[in-house]
Amino acid sequence: MAKLYFKFGAMGCSKTAQALITKFNYEERNMRVLLLKPAIDTRDGANIVRSRIGLQQDAITVGSEEDLHKLYLEKYSDRDVIIVDECQFLTPEQVDELSDIVIERNIPVLCFGLSTDFTTHLFPGSKRLFEIAESISEIKSVCTCGAKATVNARLDDNGKIVTEGSQVLLGGNDRYVAMCRRCWLKYRAQA
């Protein structure tokens, strides 16, 4: 029986690398994979999914208005599995559409992404995944102090913690650092 999976973690925990390795594993078994990413994520190019360790694959980009259930049925119904990178940027409706595919077509959907933003609030797509995914697992990351990293701290141009701003600001190691909550609170107090 297929499931909707949510695999989440803080920045730098290898979410994208694991998504691409999972894609490879399915393809190695002659299964056809639909790799999706939200169109808002343009860091590595419009249709590229790239990990920090250099793995990369072409992906189908989807806008926030795209009906993923309809897209699958009309263009990709020959696929055996769906993998979504940066799933936190999906809308709650899109998460429901992916769940419909799982239920109606018995197709596994694996979503990889962040749970919370730089203010420790859930992204709408992640919130919906926590509500309805059949399998939820955390990909661990480590703070510089050695504790488990749970916060995606946003940095300004001077390396100081930012506590206000738009929920979405694309960036990598230049803009974000994973921290434990204790370190985040300490550095935030100094900002």
Catalytic residues, by residue number, are 86
CB proximity list for 91: less than 8 A, separation 6 or greater: 64, 124, 125
CA distances from 140 to 14, 44, 46, 186 (A): 9, 24, 28, 21
Q: Could you identify the residue written with the tokens 């594993």?
A: 25
Q: Could you identify the residue written with the tokens 């001077």?
A: 158
Is 18 within 8 Å of 112 (Cβ atoms)?
A: yes
Find the helix or strand (DSSP H, E) in which 56 lies. strand 56-58
Residue 188: how many other CB atoms lie within 10 Å: 17
Kindly tell me the sign of the dihedral angle through the C-alpha atoms of 110, 48, 54, 156: negative
